[in-house]
Structure 1
Amino acid sequence: MKRYGVEGGKGQGGAHMPFARAVEADGWLFVSGQTPMENGEVINGCIVEQSHKAIQNVLAILKEAGYGTEHVVRCGVWLDDPRDFASFNKVFKEYFGANPPARACVVSSMVIDCKVEVDCVAYKK
């Protein structure tokens, strides 16, 4: 089993996050929820900008572990506002249109200024 990002992932305000960014086991990669954070802070922006950043954060972890979007079997999505569903879907399709995974999307309160969070599970033989 291999863990990614346990050496000091940072959350809002630079706080150390007490979990791995991802864990790989027997070909499976479990990516923790990624928010639109950069340098420990939620980026300013609308749902479109924040969605791009959250997904790009997921993709960076996938790449680090040697996976790509074609390996993603499931994504979980949390939106702060249900009215953002259509806008998020447009962004999601830009990244996963050719290889759409299974997906669940729910509405949930988030950390301050955060409009979206995305996690995923990927598999590679």
Structure 2
Amino acid sequence: MNRQIIRTDNAPSSPLYSQGVRAGSTIYVSGMVGIDPATGELAGSSIQDQTRQALHNCEAILHASGSTLADVTLVTVLLAQPADFAGMNEAYSEVFDQPLPTRAVARLGPDLGGILVSIMMTAHTAS
């Protein structure tokens, strides 16, 4: 299967992973954190600020692939602190419209120094 690497300056990047990969009609978005790509800094110290930014970063990668949030079928959210679940849901609910994608929420393993959330997505397109 042909794989296309997705890259954008509108989301954080690293030499250790691809921001996104398209394989056929499926788009995989790597775990994005709440870092503002324009500044290289966390978008804020609250779970809401970081969740919004992480979702915007995922959306930027989807747009670079020619896709949108409407194509997302699965979202995986990793939280550094389980107590942040309600705050994450508050920001998350601002982004997605009906019908909602499937979702899983789990605990983020490593301590990443101020990073409260990491979000990855899978999307499917017609082509």
Shorter-chain TM-score tier = 0.7 to 0.9
Q: Structure 1, unaligned stretches of length 5 or more?
A: none
1:17-56 aligned within 5 A: 17-38=15-36, 39-56=39-56
Determine if contact 2:33/2:53 at 8 Å carries over to the other structure.
yes
Residue correspondences, number: 120
1:76-110 deviations in Å (ceiling 9; x for gaps): 10011111111111211111132311111011244
Aligned equivalents of 2:30 and 2:94: distance in 1? 21
Question: Superposition RMSD on alpha carbons, in Å?
Answer: 2.0
Q: 1:17 to 1:43 in 2, by over 3 A?
A: farther
Given that 1:69 and 1:99 are in contact with CA atoms closer than 8 Å, whether structure 2 keeps it comes out as no
The alpha-carbon distance between structure 1 residues 111 and 17, as it changes in their structure 2 partners (threshold 3 A), is farther
After TM superposition, give the deviation of residue 17 of structure 1 in Å.
Answer: 2.9
Indicate the structure with greater helix content. 1
Deviation at 1:4, TM superposition (A): 1.5
- Structure 2 portions without partners, runs of 5+: none
Mapped partners of 1:27, 1:77: distance in 2: 22
Structure 1 residue 19: Cα displacement: 1.2
Higher mean alpha-carbon deviation, 94-103 vs 57-66, is at 94-103
With structure 1 as the length reference, what TM-score do the two structures score? 0.86
> What TM-score comes out, normalization by structure 2 length?
0.85
The 1:6–1:52 alpha-carbon spacing in structure 2 relative to 1, beyond 3 Å, is closer
Q: Is the 8 A contact 1:36 1:50 kept in 2?
A: yes
Find the aligned partners of 2:6 and 2:124 in 1 and give their Cα distance: 16
**1:114 equivalenced with 2:125 (yes/no):** no
- What is the identity, as a one-letter code, of the residue corresponding to 2:59? L
